[in-house]
């Protein structure tokens, strides 16, 4: 059987990894500044994470959501404490799209409406409602286009209020910083107005923290830079450091009804063990502080690269913007300089999403590699 050929692949075959270093089958080491789409939060194969998973595997890997599972409660308590969101309830699932799917569905259950506001250039996943609120025609099939979605620009309060005023909006979904779209973010004033207008017009505010959450931006959640309190928060990626786990944090003004949401795999024992290990490591190793200080160092050092026209994003969720398409540069960085970086729908942007454990020396190594690659591309 062949694989369904949907991914453009680089010719690199990783076989092992430790912290920010990935090793391929030929023994070549790569610096990982991308964490496999912002997934690796506490570093590859962190010993505490590995030990926790192995121990859980020896006891019980899986049972469905039909029995008592105290590990889910331990995860929820730790997450509430570390994120300062302990007044939310947690629904566990297995991916970012699934988290958004459940958030949008829950909002619709709560207020009986079905229309959604999303923002230009958004990315929320590839399942039914999640892809419908994703601003990318190419990945929206006719089936998905049946959903009622209005896309608006950031920071346009008038357009937002005009849409909400119609009274038929179930929810508004927004990334605190756009990931795939290219690191754009709305202003604090816009986030705060959005929160107020959602309350006024009875729409549920969903913050998609699938990529920006888990300390990546220098606070546990990206929206915490704007001092707002969403009704629903969605999480995944960094939550399991590679183990598939996602979640929906639900404001306690939204009541749970038995059977309203559900999943076979979500919240299984092994995934919760991964989730707990990640939170313990983030706390113990003060990784949010590290994200802040390494980000500052990165932004200082990158000033020595004259081709860079702008740095976008926050913390360790950064975009380096050039005035040319970076696909050749990115390829050179991976294949010849052995550094993983990411792309965005803005073709001039390199995305930097390293493990939150990254050190200054790795940034120095990257700056040297970037300068060499730029010089070679020009010559
Ligand atoms: C902001 C955001 N939301 C949702 C998703 C979808 O997550 P998943 O690929 O786990 O379904 C992504 C993935 O890139 C994302 O960046």
Ligand 1 near 175 CB (within 6 A): yes
Report CA(156)–ligand 1 centroid distance (Å). Answer: 25
The answer, yes or no, to whether any atom of ligand 1 lies below 6 A from the CB of 345, is no
Q: Give 294-317 pLDDT, tens digit per residue.
A: 999 999 999 999 999 999 999 999
DSSP SS3 for 83: helix
Q: What is the DSSP letter of 67?
A: S
Percent share of the chain, pLDDT over 90: 99
Tokens 């959604």, located at residue: 116
pLDDT at position 146: 93
- Sequence-ordered alpha helix ranges (H) in the chain: 35-38, 47-59, 70-83, 96-111, 128-132, 157-164, 188-201, 269-284, 287-301, 327-335, 360-378
Q: What is the pLDDT of residues 195-242, one digit of tens each?
A: 999 999 999 999 999 999 999 999 999 999 999 999 999 999 999 999
pLDDT of 379: 87
pLDDT of residue 107: 98
For residue 210, the model assigns a pLDDT of: 98
Output the CA 16–ligand 1 centroid distance in Å.
Answer: 24
pLDDT value of residue 336 = 98
Distance (Å) from CA 125 to ligand 1 centroid: 5
- pLDDT tens digits for 125-159? 999 999 999 999 999 999 999 999 999 999 999 99
Q: Is 236 in the pocket of ligand 1 (CB under 6 A)?
A: yes
Which residues in the chain show pLDDT less than 50?
Answer: none
Question: For residue 7, how far is the Cα from the chain centroid?
Answer: 20
Ligand 1 pocket test: pick from 7, 179, 213 the residue with the most ligand atoms within 8 Å of its Cβ: 179
Q: Do strands 246-251 and 310-314 pair parallel, antiparallel, or not at all (unpaired)?
A: unpaired
- C-beta of 97 in contact with ligand 1 (< 6 A): yes
pLDDT of residue 143: 95
CB 315 near ligand 1, within 6 Å: no
Query: What is the dihedral angle through the alpha carbons of 7, 13, 14, 15, rounded to the nearest 10 degrees?
Result: 130
Model pLDDT, residue 377: 95
């Amino acid at each position: 059987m062949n694989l369904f050929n949907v991914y453009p692949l680089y010719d690199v075959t990783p076989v092992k990894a430790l912290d920010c270093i990935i090793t391929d089958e030929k023994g070549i080491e790569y610096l990982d500044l991308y964490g496999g789409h912002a997934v690796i939060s506490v570093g590859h194969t962190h010993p505490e994470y590995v030990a926790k998973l192995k121990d859980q595997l020896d006891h019980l890997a899986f049972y469905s959501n039909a029995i008592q599972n105290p590990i889910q409660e331990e995860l929820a308590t730790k997450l509430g404490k570390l994120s300062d969101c302990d007044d939310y309830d947690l629904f566990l699932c297995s991916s970012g799209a699934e988290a958004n799917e459940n958030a949008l569905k829950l909002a619709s259950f709560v207020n009986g409406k079905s229309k959604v506001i999303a923002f230009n250039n958004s990315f929320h996943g590839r399942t039914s409602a999640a892809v419908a609120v994703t601003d990318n025609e190419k990945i929206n099939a006719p089936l998905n286009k049946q959903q009622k979605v209005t896309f608006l620009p950031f920071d346009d309060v008038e357009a937002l209020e005009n849409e909400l005023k119609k009274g038929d909006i179930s929810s508004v979904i927004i990334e605190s910083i756009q990931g795939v779209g290219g690191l754009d973010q709305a202003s604090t004033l816009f986030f705060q107005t959005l929160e107020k207008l959602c309350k006024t017009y009875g729409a549920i505010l969903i913050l998609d923290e699938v990529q920006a959450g888990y300390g990546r931006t220098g606070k546990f959640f990206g929206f915490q830079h704007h001092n707002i309190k969403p009704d629903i928060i969605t999480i995944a990626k960094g939550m399991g450091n590679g183990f598939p786990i996602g979640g929906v944090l639900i404001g306690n003004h939204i009541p749970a009804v038995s059977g309203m949401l559900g999943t076979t795999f979500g919240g299984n024992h092994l995934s919760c063990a991964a989730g707990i290990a990640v939170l313990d490591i983030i706390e113990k190793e003060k990784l949010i502080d590290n994200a802040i200080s390494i980000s500052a160092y990165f932004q200082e050092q990158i000033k020595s690269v004259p081709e860079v026209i702008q740095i976008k994003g926050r913390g360790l969720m950064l975009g380096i913007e050039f005035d040319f398409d970076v696909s050749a540069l990115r390829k050179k960085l991976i294949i010849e300089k052995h550094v993983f970086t990411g792309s965005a729908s803005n073709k001039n942007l390199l995305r930097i999403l390293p493990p939150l454990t990254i050190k200054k020396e790795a940034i120095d190594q990257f700056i040297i590699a970037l300068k060499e690659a730029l010089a070679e591309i020009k010559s």
